[in-house]
Amino acid sequence: MRLLRLFIIIAVLALVPHTAQAEDGYDLWLRYQPVGQQWRDRYASAATQIVAAGDSPTIRAAASELSRGLGGMLGRGVATASAVTRDGAVLFGTPATSAAIAALDLPLAPLGDEGYLIRSVDVDGHRATVIAANSDIGVLYGAFRFLKLMQTRQPIDGLDISDAPKLKLRVLDHWDNLDRHVERGYAGLSLWDWFTLPQWHNPRYTDYARANASIGINGAVLNNVNAQAEILTPRYLDKVAALADIFRPYGIKVYLSVKFSAPIALGGLKTADPLDPKVRAWWQAKADQIYARVPDFGGFLVKANSEGQPGPQDYHRTHADGANMLAAALKPHGGVVMWRAFVYSQHDSEDRAKQAYNEFKPLDGKFADNVLVQVKNGPIDFQPREPFHPLFGAMPKTPLMLELQVTKEYLGFNTHLAYLGTMWAETLDADTHAHGPGTTVARLIENGKGTGLTGIAGVANIGNDRNWTGSEFDQANWYAFGRLAWNPQASAEHIARDWTRMTWSERPQVVDTITAMMMRSREAVVDYMTPLGLAHQMATGHHHGPGPWVSNLGRPEWNPVYYNRADGNGIGFDRTASGSDAIAQYAPPVAAEFGSLKTVPDKYLLWFHHVPWTYRMKSGETLWDALIEHYDRGVQAVAGLQRDWASLAPFIDKRRFDEETAFLEIQHQDALWWRNASIAYFQSKSQLPLPAGHAEPPHDLDYYEAIKTPYAPGQ
Ligand code: GCV
């Protein structure tokens, strides 16, 4: 009997995932859980010794990460040594710091400042793995890559890997205010505890830097683009400097968002006119003051003349005048200006989708050589689906930086599962035809117009929640952003698979199921929120939940009705020549494809065309029927995610499993809400019955219009 009980206990324990303690998501994709027996055997004679060549803070960070990672995964201590003395050693450093590495005569030159090489070699008669680079930061990136091989259960013998980032600036933009409120943040307060800085160095700052370095992110804009001028006061600059010191060993530069009117607010000047000598002198002195504290300061990010922010147009100057004035102040120190093209004017009745192009295209070639123009992926505002921004390909003389939104302002906040890797890949792979076929957005941003200035920015989804991002699955979006920033042509599926292995489990069933869930998750959101090219149908202000009927806001383009244009005849925004002609901002082959009803992909139909409810889709069904099917497909897809997730219960630690189960329930409820509210509204216009097999919304339109979500986070 006792034996039987023991047997039952052992059998039950074998079913419980082999995590030593309940997981809470803090460790992100750097969990370094013990590998299973099969891999422990395979790695038995590898990674026996860690040999650091050099002693900089960055090399020390690499050593510490390797010992943490190898120790965790192999479940044994890994000796450190100053020279290779055993088979299975891991030697890492640069040829400048190690005669042993120099003697290997490795082909490092093409890898630049941040690339690395990992090779299985012989050192002093011992089998070893060398992780080498031209710089210490390259070595750290290589160390993370080596660990990833093991985290994703790859062989680590016979290695010959080399890699280098395709973009120079790989930056997270934190929309964090000085009171720690995060605009569009769904993961708690800002990580930056300004009140206790510069004295208190929360260890979390280092973990943030580790996570970023592990995926190659090399910049952080610390504060919101809706900037507060005070960040530029000496008191705050001391705090900024403390963060910069913590991040430096991990290759992360700090940047600041600046308020264009800071010379007035802080300097007591009467103007912020970029051509005024006193204003220019103020910024120059400010830049000097910053660099005295942060010698490797990255530069400024600027939102100007957009959504009420001050800017050069207040003085009848151009965006180029404004950007170049700041660029001149930063230039002697090697800093850059990231000038946002997210502009639309309250005085311009032009289609909002056209305004950024109209303002910026004429300025091509007029920006200083340390300015990048930062362009959102689509022409409106981080919608669940947008076509690529027409500025990509339209400014051949200006380095353009792609801006993505990692935080899910318009995709269900932290409680909806939406893997954004597929969405970003859609933009990156989009063919602008700017210089002939194959001129994808990825290739354009990698090019940098010969200036060497290339970059990508992601609006961060990080806060002080224990799991960093407010949900386990939103960690994947931080991870995917870093991976695509390193290589914009990487596969979204490959990235999802890597992340799943590192975050959840090595079990093939878990890896396959979660990867598949992620890969279809964003399309589900598109289907239940904004199918067939609809956009900006969200409720007012916080953007949570549906509001397709909203028409009472101060500016036309803030209202969902502006975008859906639903009436008794049909739905959609005519952006062809018969409408706003936004289509003309694209290269002719793109304009021809999107502009014709025969060739426009269904996913962009209502973005570019206003069509009757009875319009025949390529499938033969009517637009009305197709619309309803998409809403239902979205809801069903979420039910599918719930089922798939439930099937993983035996393999996922309880806390993380329960949280995601609850979040998927929320997502399902919200998807139904979106579906029912949207159908109720559009049916009030179309007056058509639902196609057979599709349920009527359970309530009337008034019911949905009355739903309010006060206190939604992130506003
Ligand atoms: C930081 C959208 C968001 C704003 C954001 C703005 C921007 O309008 O709703 O919160 O402001 O984009 O990107 O500047």
* Distance in angstroms (rounded) separating the CA atoms of residues 322 and 301: 12
Q: Please, are residues 73 and 33 in contact by the beta-carbon 8 Å criterion?
A: yes
Residue tagged active-site, from 23, 163, 321, 409: 409
CA angle 21, 25, 29 (to 5 degrees): 105
Structural tokens at position 662 = 């609850």
Total Cβ atoms within 10 A of residue 332:
11
In a domain, 693, yes or no: no
Is the distance from the beta carbon of residue 394 to the nearest atom of ligand 1 less than 6 Å?
Answer: no
Of 2-16, 83-97, 324-338, the range with the lowest mean pLDDT is 2-16
Task: For ligand 1, pick from 307, 375, 559 the residue to mutate: most ligand atoms within 8 Å of CB.
Answer: 307
pLDDT in tens, 14-35: 444 444 357 999 999 999 999 9
150 and 182 fall within a common domain: no
138 and 242 fall within a common domain: no
Q: Which atom of ligand 1 is nearest to the CA of 226?
A: 1
- Residue where one domain finishes, among candidates 110, 138, 163: 163
Of 67-76, 446-455, 699-708, the range with the lowest mean pLDDT is 446-455
Residue 44: predicted pLDDT = 87
Secondary structure of residue 201 in the 3-state scheme:
coil
Q: Please, are residues 111 and 133 in contact by the beta-carbon 8 Å criterion?
A: yes
* Distance in angstroms (rounded) separating the CA atoms of residues 227 and 208: 22
Is the distance from the beta carbon of residue 303 to the nearest atom of ligand 1 less than 6 Å?
Answer: yes
Which residue's CA lies nearest to atom 11 of ligand 1? 226
Q: Which atom of ligand 1 is nearest to the CA of 306?
A: 14
127 and 241 fall within a common domain: no
pLDDT in tens, 366-389: 999 999 999 999 999 999 999 999
Radius of gyration of the chain (CA): 27
DSSP 3-state percent helix, strand, coil across the chain (nearest 5): 45, 10, 45
* Distance in angstroms (rounded) separating the CA atoms of residues 148 and 66: 11
Structural tokens at position 423 = 């969405």
Which residue's CA lies nearest to atom 13 of ligand 1? 342
- Residue where one domain finishes, among candidates 136, 163, 190: 163
b or e along 567-579 (b: 16 or more beta carbons within 10 Å of the residue's beta carbon)?
A: eeebbbbbbbeeb
Residue tagged active-site, from 27, 65, 173, 381: 381
Is the distance from the beta carbon of residue 540 to the nearest atom of ligand 1 less than 6 Å?
Answer: no
Is the distance from the beta carbon of residue 304 to the nearest atom of ligand 1 less than 6 Å?
Answer: no
Q: Please, are residues 80 and 89 in contact by the beta-carbon 8 Å criterion?
A: no
pLDDT in tens, 490-523: 999 999 999 999 999 999 999 999 999 999 999 9
Compute, in angstroms, the gap from residue 138 CA to the centroid of ligand 1: 34
Instruction: Calculate the dihedral angle through the C-alpha atoms of 411, 416, 422, 425, rounding to the nearest 10 degrees.
Output: 40
* Distance in angstroms (rounded) separating the CA atoms of residues 28 and 22: 14
94 and 234 fall within a common domain: no
Is the distance from the beta carbon of residue 381 to the nearest atom of ligand 1 less than 6 Å?
Answer: yes
* Distance in angstroms (rounded) separating the CA atoms of residues 469 and 692: 41
Task: For ligand 1, pick from 174, 381, 558 the residue to mutate: most ligand atoms within 8 Å of CB.
Answer: 381
96 and 227 fall within a common domain: no
Q: Which atom of ligand 1 is nearest to the CA of 543?
A: 9
The answer to whether residue 403 is catalytic is: no
In a domain, 320, yes or no: yes
* Distance in angstroms (rounded) separating the CA atoms of residues 128 and 83: 11
The answer to whether residue 696 is catalytic is: no
Residue whose token pair is 């690499």 = 62
Is the distance from the beta carbon of residue 410 to the nearest atom of ligand 1 less than 6 Å?
Answer: no
On the 0-12 / 13-18 / 19+ scale of CB atoms within 10 A, 132 is buried
On the 0-12 / 13-18 / 19+ scale of CB atoms within 10 A, 202 is middle
Q: Which atom of ligand 1 is nearest to the CA of 409?
A: 9
Total Cβ atoms within 10 A of residue 659:
17
In a domain, 93, yes or no: yes
CATH number of the domain at 438, please.
3.20.20.80
Compute, in angstroms, the gap from residue 274 CA to the centroid of ligand 1: 24
Is the distance from the beta carbon of residue 342 to the nearest atom of ligand 1 less than 6 Å?
Answer: yes
CATH number of the domain at 106, please.
3.30.379.10
Residue whose token pair is 């091509």 = 364
* Distance in angstroms (rounded) separating the CA atoms of residues 333 and 295: 8
- Chain-centroid distance of CA 68 in Å reads 27
Is the distance from the beta carbon of residue 183 to the nearest atom of ligand 1 less than 6 Å?
Answer: yes
Confidence of residue 643 (pLDDT cuts 50, 70, 90): very high
189 and 317 fall within a common domain: yes
Q: What is the mean pLDDT of residues 314-341?
A: 98
Closest CA relative to residue 474, chosen from 341, 228, 687, 667: 667
Total Cβ atoms within 10 A of residue 38:
10
In a domain, 296, yes or no: yes
329 and 471 fall within a common domain: yes
Tell me whether the omega of the peptide bond preceding residue 650 falls within 30 degrees of 0, making it cis.
Answer: no
Residue tagged active-site, from 179, 238, 307, 665: 307
Residue type for position 201 = H
231 and 87 fall within a common domain: no
154 and 197 fall within a common domain: no
Mean of the per-residue pLDDT values for the chain?
Answer: 95
Is the distance from the beta carbon of residue 184 to the nearest atom of ligand 1 less than 6 Å?
Answer: yes
Closest CA relative to residue 371, chosen from 321, 406, 421, 296: 321
Residue 76: predicted pLDDT = 86
* Helix (H) or strand (E) segment spanning residue 221: strand 219-221
Asked whether the predicted pLDDT for residue 9 surpasses 80, the reply is no
Is the distance from the beta carbon of residue 715 to the nearest atom of ligand 1 less than 6 Å?
Answer: no
Structural tokens at position 556 = 């036309």
Residue 7: predicted pLDDT = 41
454 and 307 fall within a common domain: yes
Task: Please list, in sequence order, all residues whose beta carbon lies within 8 angstroms of the beta carbon of residue 95, skipping any fewer than 6 positions away.
Answer: 101, 102, 106, 108, 132, 134
Q: Which atom of ligand 1 is nearest to the CA of 175?
A: 1
Q: What is the mean pLDDT of residues 240-247?
A: 99
In a domain, 704, yes or no: no
- Where are the extended beta strands (E) located within 322-370? 336-340
Q: What is the mean pLDDT of residues 88-108?
A: 97
Q: Which atom of ligand 1 is nearest to the CA of 459?
A: 13
What proportion of the chain, given as a percentage, has pLDDT over 70?
Answer: 97
66 and 124 fall within a common domain: yes
Asked whether the predicted pLDDT for residue 448 surpasses 80, the reply is no
Task: For ligand 1, pick from 174, 184, 228 the residue to mutate: most ligand atoms within 8 Å of CB.
Answer: 184
Q: What is the mean pLDDT of residues 617-637?
A: 98
* Distance in angstroms (rounded) separating the CA atoms of residues 591 and 607: 13
158 and 174 fall within a common domain: no
- Residue where one domain finishes, among candidates 129, 163, 197: 163
The reported pTM is 0.96
Terminus-to-terminus CA distance in the chain, angstroms?
61
Confidence of residue 348 (pLDDT cuts 50, 70, 90): confident
In a domain, 14, yes or no: no
Question: DSSP per residue over 76-138, as a string?
Answer: S--EEESS--STTEEEEE-TTT-HHHHHH----GGGTTT-EEEEEEEETTEEEEEEE-SSHHH
In a domain, 686, yes or no: no
Query: Judging by DSSP bridges, how do beta strands 611-612 and 570-571 pair with one another?
Result: antiparallel
* Distance in angstroms (rounded) separating the CA atoms of residues 312 and 538: 31
Confidence of residue 591 (pLDDT cuts 50, 70, 90): very high
In a domain, 685, yes or no: no
Residue whose token pair is 């660029």 = 327
The answer to whether residue 409 is catalytic is: yes
Specify the number of domains making up the chain.
3
Closest CA relative to residue 533, chosen from 626, 619, 407, 620: 626
Structural tokens at position 41 = 């055997």
Question: DSSP per residue over 372-412, as a string?
Answer: EEEEESSSSSS-SS-PPPTTTTT-TTS-EEEEEE-S-TTTT
Asked whether the predicted pLDDT for residue 216 surpasses 50, the reply is yes
Residue 21: predicted pLDDT = 52
Which residues are bridge partners to 456 per DSSP? 170, 402
Structural domain boundaries, residue 583: 574-609
